[in-house]
Amino acid sequence: MRAQKNDVPSNSSLRCFLRPESSWSIQIIVMTTSTSQSLRTLGNSDLQLTAIGFGAWAIGGGNWEFAWGPQDDNESIEAIHRALDLGVNWIDTAAIYGLGHSEEVVGQALKSHTGPKPLVFTKCSMRWHKDRSIYRSLKAGSLQEELEGSLRRLGVETIDLYQIHWPNPESEIEEGWEALARFQEQGKVRSIGVSNFSVEQMKRAQKIAPITSLQPPYSMLRRAVEEEILPFAAANGIGVINYSPMVSGLLTGSMTAERIAAFPADDWRRRSIEFNEPKLSRNLQLVELLREIGSSHEVSPGVVAVAWTLQNPAITAAIVGGRSGKQVEGLAPALEFRLSKDEYARINAFLAANPA
């Protein structure tokens, strides 16, 4: 049996990924899935997303605090092009990824790609000094500098979704959100969102301007947002694009204890509890269950992991990273693959029996 094709776009519908014109009016729209195309409306915006987007964290390269180790820029550009050619219609990056380098690579890929232009999302609030140390600011002037830098590196006139990366410093949330609302009014960004915000922090932002989207970590190993945050987003028409659905590569099916032990010294995953014992053995056992489920559909464990997050009705779309064209090809089935109720229940039964 091959991948289940629920709401699968035809090849002709994949050409409808150019940005629609925006009237800059605010409309409250409950998250929906288009019946004519496999596209999902993001929150209160007119942004139409494929079920997965290309995540550009890892392509920022090495030599910074949250690096994934060295990365070849040509492979990164190939990965982006392959994702777009296979039907992905949005890219998520951040100024801090690679200290500006990820945005530069995305900009190069956009410039050299001949097909329809994807939607481009980026994030602000994390900055860096000349010595590459990171600091955080939500001051209006700082965000203005970040926005101009992101526009320049990406080579675009307008950013489709501009997000506060982290609610830090917390005392500056209101000033930061007011700045993003102003950027939207000026037409420099189409929609504005938040990332890693709590319910109370989102309520503070809502008093100033509507929130289009939330970007939280969400996977079968990181489920804290299920209790309050996802229900709040759904009740308030806030779109959700979850990051790390495969737990930073852990659930892809290509990870082993030996490979993890050989990570480059600057790979941040060396410090992650999920990549270390006592959790690692349990997590690799979970991967084998995902592999078993995926094998009957000819998809990888990573695709199954992404599909598990998309099963939650509060999730609009998932961010899926890739560092090469080959990796992207292996994960592209997540555009259309969906779990059956029985498969979903099997995974949840394992998680219940083997708590994190």
Q: Which residues are catalytic?
A: 97
Distance CA 194, CA 212 (A): 8
Query: Among positive and negative, which fits the CA dihedral 159, 161, 165, 168?
Result: positive
Q: Provide the residue count of the chain.
A: 356
352: helix, strand or coil: helix
Q: Which two tokens stand for residue 178?
A: 């007011």
Distance CA 66, CA 149 (A): 20
Q: How remote is the C-alpha of 269 from its chain's centroid?
A: 18
CB 207 within 8 A of CB 233: no
Q: Which residues pair with 41 in a beta bridge?
A: 48
- Residue 128 DSSP one-character state: E
- Residue 59 DSSP one-character state: G
Taking every pair of Cα atoms in the chain, the longest distance, rounded to a whole number of angstroms, is 55
Range list of β-strands (E), 186-342: 189-195, 213-215, 239-242, 317-321
The helix (H) or strand (E) run that includes residue 54 is: strand 52-55
Q: What does 68-116 look like in DSSP terms, one character per residue?
A: BS---HHHHHHHHHHHHHTT--EEE--TTTTTTHHHHHHHHHHHH--SP
Instruction: List Cα–Cα distances, 90 to 24, 60, 226, in angstroms.
Output: 20, 17, 25
Distance CA 42, CA 237 (A): 9
Of 186, 24, 58, 40, residue with least CA distance to 119: 40
Where do the H-state alpha helices sit in 207-322?
229-235, 257-261, 279-295, 301-310
